[in-house]
Structure 1
Amino acid sequence: MAETTLQIAGRHYTVRCRDGEEAHLAHLAGLIERKARLAQQNTPGLTEVRTLLFAALFLADELNDLKREAIGRQQSLALGDDDELAVQAMEALAARIEKLRERLVDPEPGA
């Protein structure tokens, strides 16, 4: 098990992680650090806890927006399934029309 030190909102935190995950944790800590700095810039004098609270809220808001966007994309893709069904229905109708046209142009003998 590896151990790494992360700096967030001016404090150092030592955490354990699986071997090889140190860089990923440092990246995540960097995301939190940027949000913490943003919170401190927008509201000077925040306590450490409130700084981290606002950083978490900023990140949760971004995550929520991304989830809503993903749901919207999934719904638009689902509409694409309806489009595929419509295309299949039109192709079936076109085939029926073609058969009717052939009967009108070349009526069957004895008809």
Structure 2
Amino acid sequence: MAQMKLEIGGRSFMVTCKDGEETHLAKLAAMVDSKARESGDPTGLTESRMLLFTSLLLADELHGAQSAGSGAAATSAPTQTAAMDDQAVAALEKLADRAEQLANSLE
């Protein structure tokens, strides 16, 4: 297992991933970081709130993409799109769980 340091919303996180998944994880972290920066000044938010707002922004984006896809004709690669959607949903669920854990630990 590989360990990586991810920078999200101006904060550092150490995570573990399977060997060979580092590049993919770095791309996902860049997406999350981009959304975290959209949620406003990260210094004014607790870590759990930043992750909560970030996961909500990502979920909203995913919902919009799914809604747009449901009204359109099937694409040339629906299976690949469905697999990517499933991966994105799983990643968002993990992020939301982590945000909830952090919020609970602060209470």
Q: What's the TM-score, normalizing by structure 1? A: 0.59
Deviation readout 1:83-111 (Å, 9 max, x if unpaired): xxxxxxxxxxxxxxxxxxxxxxxxxxxxx
Runs of at least 4 residues off by over 4 Å: none
Let me know the Cα RMSD of the aligned residues: 1.9
Q: Which amino acid aligns with 1:4?
A: M
Matched residue type, 1:28 = L
Which protein shows a greater Rg? 1
Higher relative contact order (CA 8 A, sep 6+): 2
Q: Where does 1:1-111 land on structure 2 (aligned, <5 Å)?
A: 1-41=1-41, 45-73=44-72, 76=73
Unmatched runs of 5 consecutive residues or more in structure 2: 75-107
Q: Which amino acid aligns with 2:9?
A: A
Question: How many angstroms apart in 2 are the aligned matches of 1:18 and 1:72?
Answer: 37
Structure 2 CA distance for aligned equivalents of residues 36 and 8 of structure 1:
7
Measure how far apart 1:44 and its partner are. Answer: 7.0
Give distance in 2, aligned partners of 1:20 and 1:31: 19
Taking structure 2 as the reference length, what is the TM-score of the superposition?
0.61
- Matched residue pairs, number? 74
SS of match in other structure, 1:19: coil
The percent identity for this pair of structures is 47
- What are structure 1's unaligned runs of at least 5 residues? 78-111
Tell me the secondary structure at the aligned position of residue 40 of structure 1: coil
Deviation at 1:35, TM superposition (A): 1.0
